[in-house]
Amino acid sequence: MEKFFNSDKSWTAKSEGIAEQIHEIKLLCKKLMEDNYLEEALKPFEEKYGDVELFKIVDHKIEHNVDEDIISEHRECGKLADRNREEDKNMLFDLLKLNIENFWD
């Protein structure tokens, strides 16, 4: 569809804008499918602490290898990843809701 609206076969005067909308939707779908939100959110944490082992299991019990502040920072990365994923889903559905009627010529 994006190629069609970027071609001279499209009849609508807004074809370039529609092609951009479709492109943005495709990028959001790809990002959501790849689901790299946690990896992205953890980058600053990993730069700060490296490849730290947060806990180990000993005798069926979890033992923390680091203090609670580091564990809390790690949890915040997970929450950030969840928020970013949710924002992208909302943006995708909002774009579809607003523009889907324009996607055929």
pLDDT tens per residue across all 105 residues of the chain: 444 444 454 445 455 667 788 889 999 999 999 999 999 999 999 999 998 888 888 888 888 888 889 999 999 999 999 999 999 999 999 999 988 777 664
The pLDDT value recorded for residue 6 is 45
Phi-psi region of 22 (alpha: psi -120 to 50; beta: other; left: phi over 0): alpha
How many domains, the chain?
Answer: 1
The pLDDT value recorded for residue 100 is 78
User: What's this model's pTM, rounded to 2 decimal places?
Assistant: 0.74
Supply the range of the domain harboring residue 8.
2-102
Nearest C-alpha neighbor of 31 from the set 104, 39, 67, 74:
39
The pLDDT value recorded for residue 21 is 87
Task: Residue 13: count other Cβ atoms within 10 Å of its Cβ.
Answer: 7
The pLDDT value recorded for residue 85 is 98
Buried b (16+ CB within 10 A) or exposed e, 33-57: eeeebeeebbeebeeeeeeeeeeee
